[in-house]
Structure 1
Amino acid sequence: MPLRVLVVDDSNFFQQRLKEIINRHPDLQVVGIAGNGREAVDKTLSLKPDIITMDFEMPVMDGVTAVRLIMAQCPTPILMFSSLTYEGARVTLDALAAGALDFMPKNFGEVSQRAQSLSDKLHERLLTLGKSGRTPIPKVSPQPERPAVPVQPRPISAPKARSSRARPELVIIGASTGGPVALTDVLVRLPRVFAAPILLVQHMPENFTKAFADRLDKQCQIRVREAVDGDRLEPGLALLAPGGKQMLVERHGDGATVKIMQDDRVTYKPSLDITFGSAAKQFGAGVLGVVLTGMGSDGREGARMLKAVGSEIWAQDEASSVIYGMPMAVAQAGLTDRILSLTDMGPSIAREVL
């Protein structure tokens, strides 16, 4: 039986094009169309769709409010469509925090040109999210605003052999689908005084990562910002890889910095494999690599490189993952030292590094 889809958008053109694209796949069927958020809530309750596509800027009721009400009354996997602007990213992050599971850029050019790549991506997202049947990850309350106290960088020593008591010199956390909420859950549980630098790799397009980093910085006790080329690695500072680019690490005599670069040879931009692999070469056994929820297997080969030099790999468990793809890939490859639930991940990282 095909997965039943409810399309929510106030543009008649977008409604019909989405319906046409979705119905091309034999395992997907549009069963309803709503022109605003209020109608979306009503049709969700009456039609009980398997998945919903949701615009955010609509009359009567906006998409974020509709997501919140749907999750409260009839939890359903929701895929948001978002404009590729800072404001669009900010609203999309609000929708993800309210319970939406994933998002796609709303590109009228692609829709008008009948781009096959758009059809393939949309079909993949809808099938994956619809079959997952996941309800959103429980939200956690942001920590109190951190005091404006400077944290002195801890010198980064040369690579050394890992022992059972060795503290990681660097923490790298990667995620894809479900990642914005999962990363928030992990990072808000870390204390302000955190003894290691953190690198974050979240599959996101350009413009989104700046908004996401700003949001995390306001919610967390640690500092968070979008990485720029040459940023120093500092304890208590999380650097988020910018969308559309790759983040590597480089060591110097007085510490380490990130290198931000273009690399069109790789599917994911940013890619966890690339950041993991770079850290394996530069930090040896001094890395704690963490793989969270997400589609695909990005991170597996990089984790293999980290394990080969003695670093530890942790992965999120299936029960708390929105999509058990990335963490499953490293677990099935026999690369995980620990498999943890999302709620245990942040406290466990804090204990490992303090």
Structure 2
Amino acid sequence: MRTAYVPSRRSIRVLIADDSAFMRKVIREVLSRDPAIEVVGTASNGVEAVNKVLELDPDVVVLDIQMPKMNGLEALREIMRLKPKPVIIFSAFTDRDADLSVQALRLGAVDIIPKPGGPISLDISEVADQLLLKVKAAARSSLHALRMHSSLMLQRYKYLPLSVRGPAEDTPNVAIAIAASTGGPSAVASVISALPKDLPAAVLIVQHMPPFFTRRFAEHLNKTSELTVKEAENGEKLRIGTAYVAPGDYHMIVVRGADGTPQIKLHKGPKINNVRPSADPLFQSVAK
């Protein structure tokens, strides 16, 4: 039986896997700015990445998807089979590639960061902040704990009475609010798939993801759940037995509509704790 992986060293040891020598250099420079992070190795293809995970035993792996010999998804599968580690996918995505993000999460990746479009220098500050924050978050995570978190969430979630109510039979008087960040998608998927189809509540989900990933994530949840799961739309009324995923880069709150029924409002207010969507506005709007 595998024991849970918990980093025990003072520095966070990171392996970078990317087929671009330039990107390996940029990522190394970004991570090396933080004295708490040590880049212990790099790999230029998936086979080398798997071998270096076994050899170097890093705390976190930053992994590209598009690589020769063995692509990132295949490498991720092997890493999780042979020596499970927190893996952050850092790769170029388009709308058409968003399904790859769902596959990566299904295989065990704890987070995904899209490479910026255009010249890397234009977005290096934003990417640097994301990389540093998410590498640190990934290093603090225990893969065993992440897998167990879904069962704990099922034991601990509570129906929250909505301060905004409506008379319609399919309008919920209670809601379940769920928020997750690094490592959260797997736990959220486990929770949503375990909820019954006759759930007498609406479910509101905040998962920190890039904008075009949240729709794919909602579609994935919809396929594995007895509930109806969709990406939330501004102004849509809450319905029982439906789960709503906040779109990437939008805060989601619950407000009273013109007819008095609870509905969703999306807005691009300031980031909270460096994230948008944030759990705080959602929880405050549901519980107040």
Scaled to the shorter chain, the TM-score interval is 0.7 to 0.9
Partner residue of 2:246 out of 234, 241, 246? 241
Describe the superposition over 1:109-147 as per-residue Cα deviations: whole angstroms up to 9, x where unpaired: 57434734433332232233224353574499xxxxxxx
1:175 aligns with: 180
**Corresponding position: 1:197 with 2:212:** no
What amino acid does structure 2 have at the position aligned with 1:154?
Answer: E
- Secondary structure of the residue aligned to 1:207 is helix
User: Residues 82 and 89 of structure 1 are in contact (CA less than 8 Å); yes or no, is this contact kept in structure 2?
Assistant: no
2:18 aligns with: 9
User: Residues 16 and 28 of structure 2 are in contact (CA less than 8 Å); yes or no, is this contact kept in structure 1?
Assistant: yes
Alpha-carbon shift at residue 194 of structure 1 (Å) = 1.5
User: Residues 251 and 281 of structure 2 are in contact (CA less than 8 Å); yes or no, is this contact kept in structure 1?
Assistant: yes
1:255 aligns with: 261
CA gap 1:265/1:123 in 2 versus in 1, 3 angstroms: closer
1:302 aligns with: none
CA gap 1:86/1:215 in 2 versus in 1, 3 angstroms: farther
Partner residue of 1:188 out of 171, 183, 193? 193
User: Residues 245 and 270 of structure 1 are in contact (CA less than 8 Å); yes or no, is this contact kept in structure 2?
Assistant: yes
Residues 1-354 of structure 1 correspond to what in structure 2 (within 5 A)? 2-107=11-116, 109=118, 111-113=120-122, 115-135=124-144, 137-138=146-147, 154-156=169-171, 169-252=174-257, 253=259, 255-264=261-270, 266=272, 267-281=274-288
**In structure 1, distance between residues paired with 2:144 and 2:23:** 26
**Matched-pair identity in %:** 37
User: Residues 65 and 73 of structure 2 are in contact (CA less than 8 Å); yes or no, is this contact kept in structure 1?
Assistant: yes
| Structure 2 stretches lacking a partner, 5+ long | 1-9, 151-167
CA gap 1:17/1:108 in 2 versus in 1, 3 angstroms: farther
**In structure 1, distance between residues paired with 2:207 and 2:14:** 27
CA gap 1:82/1:263 in 2 versus in 1, 3 angstroms: same
CA gap 1:268/1:29 in 2 versus in 1, 3 angstroms: closer
User: Residues 17 and 46 of structure 2 are in contact (CA less than 8 Å); yes or no, is this contact kept in structure 1?
Assistant: yes
What amino acid does structure 2 have at the position aligned with 1:198?
Answer: V
Query: How high is the TM-score relative to the length of structure 1?
Result: 0.67
**In structure 2, distance between residues paired with 1:63 and 1:73:** 15
**In structure 2, distance between residues paired with 1:239 and 1:198:** 6
Moved more, 268-277 or 88-97: 88-97
1:307 aligns with: none
Alpha-carbon shift at residue 273 of structure 1 (Å) = 1.0
User: Residues 66 and 91 of structure 2 are in contact (CA less than 8 Å); yes or no, is this contact kept in structure 1?
Assistant: no
What amino acid does structure 1 have at the position aligned with 2:189?
Answer: T
